[in-house]
Structures are given as structure tokens and as C-alpha cells.
Amino acid sequence: MSLTDPVSDFLTRIRNAHGARHAKFDVPSSKLKTEIARILKEEGFIANFKVVDESGKKLLRLYLKYGPNNEAGISHISRISRPGCRVYVGHNEIGRVLGGLGVNILTTPKGVMTGRQARKEGVGGEVLCEVY
């Protein structure tokens, strides 16, 4: 099975795992997905993640985070730039998500980072997704 958009699949798996109230789940690993997971952990949306090697295949294991009343750590996660319609922004065009409560994740020449970091660094890039 070939995926045309592995990042979209990754985000959908996060959404589905939260909906099913899973504590953890695995996805096929890639550098980009690992970087997205790193940002989600730094911003406090997931509890943890690690790359595991099961029977020769690298998997990214995400540990989801829930609040005291079992509410999901991520209430909304959506893909912005798609393979059919890429969305690029300059550093001065990077929007705020939910007035600064959420984050947008960008791929920039300096690596994968949040919109806030990209504005501070003065770099633009492709807007992968937004999370809140």
C-alpha cells in the first residue's frame, strides 16, 4: 500500500486514537513524523514519543495525553498544506492559531518548527498543520 500523503495519515491516526481513548499507538516512522511528534511533545499536546524497532521496521510510538476529566490533549489537529495544494508563507505572514493558544507546524530551511519559532528566527516555509 502506498500513501500519497503520510503526514495526513499520521494526523488522522492521532485524531482516531484520541477518539478511541487509546493511551498509545504506533505509526510507521519517518524523520518528518518524528519532528512533528517532537514539537507536539514540546508544546504539551502529547505525553511522550519514541522510535521503536519491531521486526526490522521502525515505528513511531506516541503516548497520548488526557486531562483530569479524560478530555483529550488535542482538541483539533488539521492538515493545511496538502500534496495537491501546497501552502507556503513568509515569516511575516505566519498566522497565530487560536490567538496563540494553538500552534502551527512548519517545515523551513532551518528544519521543522512551530510558527512562533519561525517568526522569531525570521524564516518562512510550508505550513504542515495546525493543532490546538
Interval 28-34 mean pLDDT: 96
Based on the structure, what is the number of domains in the chain? 1
Range of the domain at 116: 6-131
**Residue 100: pLDDT band by 50, 70, 90 thresholds?**
confident
- Inside any domain, residue 1: no
- Inside any domain, residue 45: yes
Domain with 49 in it: what CATH number?
3.30.1370.30
- For residue 2, the model assigns a pLDDT of 57
Q: What is the DSSP code (8-state) at residue 94? A: P
- Inside any domain, residue 55: yes
Beta strands in 1-132 (DSSP E): 24-28, 46-54, 57-64, 77-79, 88-89, 103-108, 111-114, 125-131
3 state SS of 69: coil
Report the mean per-residue pLDDT for the chain: 94
- Inside any domain, residue 37: yes
**Measured distance CA(128)–CA(121) in Å, rounded:** 18
